[in-house]
A and B are shown apart, each in its own frame.
Chain A
Amino acid sequence: MRFILRRLGFYLIAFWASITLNFLLPRFMPGDPVSRMFARTQGKMQPEQIDALRKLLGVDDRPIWEQYIDYLHNIVTGNMGISISRFPAPVTEVIAAQIGWTLLLGGTALVIAAVAGNLLGILAAWRRGGAIDSALPPVLIFIGSFPYFWLAMGALYLFGVVLGWSPLRHAFTDGVEPGFTWEFLSDVGAHLVLPALTIVLVSIGGWMLGMRNTMIATNSEDYITMAGAKGLRPGRIMFRYAARNAMLPSVTSFGMGLGFVVGGAMLTEVVFAYPGVGYQLLNAVQGLDYPLMQGLFLTITAAVLLANFLVDILYVRLDPRVRSN
């Protein structure tokens, strides 16, 4: 219990540090959101309108510490302000409307990549030098080192345009009524396959190699030899003895990955026109939309920290050494 409380304290400090950074970083960027917006319209807006717009959007010239106190207060009360680039939609609404799709896409891809990658890694290490071990890693690393953008475009062109197996855009067909109906859910599934698959393809190699390498180290431990000598079934040794101990780094990676899913897979969203917060984040940064940037960064920070905290707790269960010190 003391361990958990200590970790919790650490996470609270980390949270404070990161929200403070979230506050400061955008304000160190050159320019301000209103002139950015003005420049973007390239002559369609009148310069005289800038002051009115600044007032409307609440872009203020107050001292930075006053803004900071307001910001902390807003975080505590859950009021994230109004998005500048999508004015007058509140930040919470912008994020809430889209984060579901991001989680669905990123979460599905992460789970598939982690589960499949780890299983392949376990098998590869168990049969060292076997077919899986010699053929798969180079191929997966090869695919994983393609520029993602290029790979996704290629996949979309091949499976979407040429073969016509996959829809070309969006999370579901326009006109299908959202709801818990078989028609809608299967449509969402069909739209999910290709984007998720491309993420899995580029990330699975990392999972597999990581697992394979720790497994190899574990396999040479004495207790594995001992288990074999005792005459235990190989399957039991592989999963219960070797894999369980080799899994710790993967659990950490999974926790990190889970947190970063919230940030969205920006390039995937761009290529597949998939609704989500990733592209929104890019837009917010480019448009200096402080409130939306802060809202998204805060969500990401919170998710990463939360995921890590959960991993910490899980560690206590998985690894007795953590408990003892």
Chain B
Amino acid sequence: MLTIPREDMSTFDRNFNPFAPAVNPMVNQAIYEPLLVFNPAKGDTTPWLATEWKTAADGKSITFTLRDGVKWSDGKPLVADDVAYTFELQKKLKGGYEYLVGATAEGTNKVTFTFNKPWSPALYEVGQLPILPKHIWSAIADPAKYPNATPVGTGPYTEVDSFQAQSYALKKNPNYWQPEKQKIAGIKMLAMSGNDAANLASVNGDVDWSTQFIPNIEKTFISKDKEHRHYWFPPTGAMINWQLNTTKAPFNDPKVRKALSMAVDRDQVTKIGMSGYAQPADCTGLSGNYEKWKNPAVKDNCSWTKLNVDEANKVLDEAGYPKGADGKRTLKDGTPFEFKISVGASSSDWLSVANVISQNLQAVGVTAKVDSPDWASVVAGYEQGTFDSGIVWSANDPSPFKYLNNAMGSATVKPVGTKTFDNYHRFGDPKADALLQDFVAAGDEAKQKDVAYKLQEEYNDAAPLVPLFSGPEWGDYTDVHFTGWPSQDNPYATLSDRSPTTVLILTTLEPRK
């Protein structure tokens, strides 16, 4: 049994409904499978339930061809109707996919998604949604509230076994389409209330694989068994930004944003705040998840994401924010250059990031106070646009569209006081808008890349927000029981146990002989 702790669930409910907001572990990894799997660690895509796909010439539809011989765990075959039905259900229950007009089955093995406009990011969005069996779900009166206690899926491990509030196991799908890859007997999930209990299990060698944060991992975890224990934190998580509310002065001035950014010592931020596990950002603003999209010209000639206190001082002087006799700067109206950095009190890592920034800014005469109430009230400030600045995560998709759109697309900007769920800093750039349009209309990836390069140049000019570091995706394991783990040298997946690439790991691992 592959044993995995779940540090954020103190107990499990027998609820394997993929629409549940707090979905049980492994439902979308081991039970239900998507059409394709995108692997951010390598930037490649593995065909999964679909063997191939084709985008129409006008960019307004994609046709997927399903794999032959795939069966649901109850023995019924996977058909195109299942895929079409899944999207119908998804749109009805959870919304989203506003560009999607519909999904139509053509025969049993082809399904076409049509859009109301050319929309190139769709490939990964529709491609990565886990597919459900129509013959089961269409018979359910209220699918949103259906506990789905005995799930039927196409995944490698679908059979729920020995279910308890504190643990459960998933056993082999008897009808899996690649039985030669079901080498582990099953997956056992353990409920843990918090990182400490999960860390204890990892350190003690009670679990095979875990993804919760372990402080000082070399010493606390690896050193106990150097031969078998390993970790890998690829920088493929979301970009973590210092987001400045651009509706407020002086943050509406790009020079100020760049100067503040130059005053931040990102090496210190990642070393002290993130225990050295994260990678400092560059001027493309893109995290390690988008390595292949990065514009080398922007990345290599980067200025404003590198520490340069003299330059920061100079820019602020020239922009009209003078330093007083006491070494503190004032705004143009003569009030002190002071503001808050809001971070939720429970995120100790980001709190120390904010503290480092606050200290760094003293060197340029700017006072930033760290404000740390509960996350709920911090987020309420972000959503209403009443905050000064905050440490904020960003969207993390296979294509960089959503990240760039949220960073500087006018369409995502709402007036202060109106709730928004993206673009908290409320920045829109007309020049970027045109490029973002080009991006979604681009027919192939080469063209998308071309536009993405230009978008990064614009990002570099406008500095819509202050990128800090690429969030790492935690992952550590012991190969005492199982071998075949992904690693820096063999990045066939990230080491995450809750992302789309997890299924690649589940179908690669094998018991140690």
Contacts and interface: CB of A to CB of B under 8 A. Distances in A.
Q: Report if A and B associate in a common complex.
A: yes
Overall SS of chain B's interface: loop
A51 B421 CA distance: 11
A98 interface: yes
A322 B97 CA distance: 69
Contact of A270 (B97, B197, B238): B197
Contacts of B95: 46, 48-53
A86 B13 CA distance: 8
A88 B95 CA distance: 18
B10 A280 contact: yes
A271 B165 contact: no
A71 interface: no
B419 A35 contact: yes
B376 to A, nearest CB: 4
B508 to A, nearest CB: 24
Interface in B396-446: 396, 419-422
Given A52-B94, A52-B95, A273 B421 contact: no
B96 interface: yes
Contact of B96 (A49, A270, A272): A49
Interface stretch (A62-70, A111-119, A165-173, A296-304): A165-173
B21 A37 contact: yes
Contacts of A89: 13, 15, 147
Contacts of B21: 37, 53, 57, 84-85, 87
Contacts of A49: 94-96
Interface residues of A, number: 55
A50 B421 CA distance: 9
A313 to B, nearest CB: 35
Interface in A76-102: 82, 84-89, 93-94, 97-98
Given A169-B197, A275-B191, A286-B375, A88 B144 contact: yes
A161 interface: yes
Interface in B65-119: 93-98
| Interface magnitude class on chain B | 35 or more
A56 interface: yes
Contacts of B422: 47
Contacts of B193: 269-270, 273, 279
A30 B421 contact: no
Contacts of B164: 174, 178
Nearest to B393: A42
Interface string B186-222: 0010111110110011001010000000000000000
A88 B20 CA distance: 7
B17 A88 contact: yes
B380 A169 contact: no
A39 interface: yes
B11 A97 contact: yes
Of B10, B164, B165, B206, which is in contact with the most chain A CB atoms at under 10 Å from its CB? B10
B335 interface: no
B290 to A, nearest CB: 14
Nearest to B91: A52
Contact of B190 (A37, A174, A286, A288): A174
Of B192, B197, B379, which is in contact with the most chain A CB atoms at under 10 Å from its CB? B197
Contact of B165 (A29, A43, A275): A275
A168 B380 contact: no
B167 interface: yes
A273 B98 contact: no
A170 B167 contact: yes
Closest 3 CB pairs of A and B: A52-B95, A47-B421, A31-B376
Interface of A: 29-31, 35-40, 42-44, 46-53, 56-57, 82, 84-89, 93-94, 97-98, 153, 156, 161, 168-171, 174-175, 178, 269-273, 275-276, 279-280, 283, 286, 288
Interface of B: 10-11, 13, 15, 17, 20-22, 93-98, 144-147, 162, 164-167, 188, 190-194, 196-197, 200-201, 204, 206, 238, 346, 374-377, 379-380, 382-383, 393-396, 419-422
Given A49-B96, A82-B145, A170-B190, 18 more contacts: A39-B382, A42-B238, A43-B238, A50-B421, A56-B144, A87-B21, A88-B147, A89-B147, A98-B11, A98-B165, A169-B197, A169-B201, A174-B167, A178-B164, A270-B193, A273-B190, A275-B191, A280-B11
12 contacts: A35-B380, A35-B419, A39-B375, A39-B379, A53-B21, A57-B21, A171-B166, A174-B166, A178-B164, A269-B10, A270-B196, A275-B191
